A and B are shown apart, each in its own frame.
Chain A
Amino acid sequence: GESVGLHLPTLSVQEGDNSIINCAYSNSASDYFIWYKQESGKGPQFIIDIRSNMDKRQGQRVTVLLNKTVKHLSLQIAATQPGDSAVYFCAENSGGYQKVTFGIGTKLQVIP
């Protein structure tokens, strides 16, 4: 079955450093990927997405890289700030409807 998973459950980063969160997926037919940020007590918040016809997409302080060959994507956060502390989920949506399949999540801890 399809699944989306993360390599590291917890990532601790010094404030100001760059963060890299990795994610592996198993469904080779997946063509749309999303990164979500979830703060404690809140619902997931959209960060950035990428479609399979791209291998890189940049937003404000964030970059998503997609490697379809090894079915891997990553989220890079530049100059990590305390407000970036949260759980980050990679997810895919290839069902033709609004079925988003989430991975387990990585907890990002920013050390002041």
Chain B
Amino acid sequence: DAGVTQSPTHLIKTRGQQVTLRCSPISGHKSVSWYQQVLGQGPQFIFQYYEKEERGRGNFPDRFSARQFPNYSSELNVNALLLGDSALYLCASSFGMNTEAFFGQGTRLTVV
């Protein structure tokens, strides 16, 4: 069975640019959550989407946005990139709103 898949695996962007990261949840999972993991720290919650609606939001600026599609896949968008946005962006899927989360390998974003 395929786990949570994220694309791309690595990405380099310039300050001020915009980026879109993609996530496909485990088949049958309806919830997708996004996390930012800065080097040397634990992941920080950004968003949760369940049944295509935003159900939770962490302490991130409005430059960060996301959406979930009818097939439950999700995109995370970050506008006006800053150097501090460089991190590993993790997607996690779960069957329900508050059930065990399974993480993908992440997308390593480097902003230069």
Q: Which of A41, A100, A105 is within 8 Å of B105, CB to CB?
A: A41
| In the complex, chain A residues whose CB is within 8 Å of the CB of B44 | 102
CB <8 Å contact, A98 and B42 = no
Is B101 interfacial (CB-CB < 8 Å)? yes
**A96-B98, A102-B43, A102-B44 given; A45·B56 CB < 8 A:** no
- Please encode chain B, from 33 to 55, with 1 for each CB lying within 8 Å of some chain A CB and 0 for all others: 10100000111110010100001
Does B50 contact A103, Cβ atoms closer than 8 Å?
A: no
- Interface residues in A50-96 by Cβ distance below 8 A to B read 89, 91, 93, 95-96
Q: Are B31 and A43 in contact (CB under 8 A)?
A: no
Asked if residues A97 and B98 are in contact (CB atoms below 8 Å), the reply is yes
Cβ contact within 8 Å between A98 and B56? yes
Residue from B56, B97, B100, B103 with most neighbouring chain A CB atoms (10 Å): B103
Interface residues on chain B, number (Cβ under 8 Å)? 27
Q: Is B90 an interface residue (CB 8 A)?
A: yes
Question: CB distance B45 to A101 under 8 Å?
Answer: yes
Given contacts A43-B105, A44-B90, contact A102 B98 (CB under 8 A): no
The A13-32 residues at the B interface (CB cut-off 8 A) are none
Q: Are B43 and A98 in contact (CB under 8 A)?
A: no
Minimum Cβ distance to chain A for residue B4 (Å): 8
Lowest 10 A-B CB distances belong to which pairs? A102-B42, A43-B103, A97-B56, A98-B48, A98-B33, A99-B45, A97-B55, A44-B103, A99-B56, A102-B43
